[in-house]
């Protein structure tokens, strides 16, 4: 199971149609269908009942939907938490020198010495 499969499953459940879900996700309908079929094979249950062009969640699909939405929300929260560090990044320049040379280059700097 991968993130794309969860996203495809959730979008299909929300839109109740493979064609609309594929369009919303910018993937082909066949890619969406095969991804959901692999997910169903992995889980060992049908997630959707097909009704013509529309689909409806099965009981197992409804239970899985709740967990899939929570998982995707948790991933989004994690991404947002990490993104804040991107704006806080402080660049540090480290210059290495030999002890006798550093005082001629940086006479007014008090450089920490290694112990």
pLDDT in tens, 26-76: 999 999 999 999 999 999 999 999 998 899 999 999 999 999 999 999 999
Q: How far is CA 114 from the centre of its chain?
A: 42
Domain that holds residue 66: 3-88
Whether 109 is in a domain gets the answer no
Q: What is the pLDDT of residue 40?
A: 96
Q: What is the pLDDT of residue 8?
A: 97
Q: What is the CATH number of the domain that holds 66?
A: 1.10.10.10
* pTM for the structure as a whole: 0.72
Q: Strand runs (DSSP E) across the chain, as ranges?
A: 48-51, 54-57
Whether 7 is in a domain gets the answer yes
Q: What is the pLDDT of residue 97?
A: 67
Per-residue pLDDT averaged across 74-102, rounded? 76
Upper half-sphere CA count for residue 32 (Cβ side, 13 Å) = 21
Q: What percent of the chain has pLDDT over 70?
A: 77
Whether 40 is in a domain gets the answer yes
Distances (CA, A) of 52 to 12, 17, 48, 49: 14, 9, 12, 10
Whether 102 is in a domain gets the answer no
Q: How far is CA 96 from the centre of its chain?
A: 39
pLDDT above 80 for 2 = yes
Whether 52 is in a domain gets the answer yes
Inter-residue contact 40 to 47 (CB < 8 Å) = yes
pLDDT above 80 for 87 = no
DSSP 70-89: HHHHHHHHHHHHHHHHHHH-
Q: Kindly report which listed range (2-6, 47-51, 84-88) carries the lowest average pLDDT score.
A: 84-88
Give the total number of structural domains in the chain.
1
Whether 60 is in a domain gets the answer yes
């Amino acid at each position: 199971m991968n993130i794309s499969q969860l996203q495809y499953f959730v979008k299909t459940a929300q839109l109740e149609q493979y064609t609309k879900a594929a369009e919303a996700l910018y993937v082909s309908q066949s890619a969406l269908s095969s991804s959901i079929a692999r997910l169903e094979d992995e889980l060992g249950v049908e997630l959707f009942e097909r009704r013509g062009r529309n689909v409806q969640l099965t009981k197992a699909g409804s239970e899985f939907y709740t967990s899939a939405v929570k998982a995707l929300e948790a991933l989004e929260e994690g991404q947002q938490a990490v993104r804040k560090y991107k704006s806080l990044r402080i660049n540090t320049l480290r210059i290495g020198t030999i002890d006798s040379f550093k005082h001629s280059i940086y006479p007014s700097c008090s450089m920490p010495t290694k112990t």
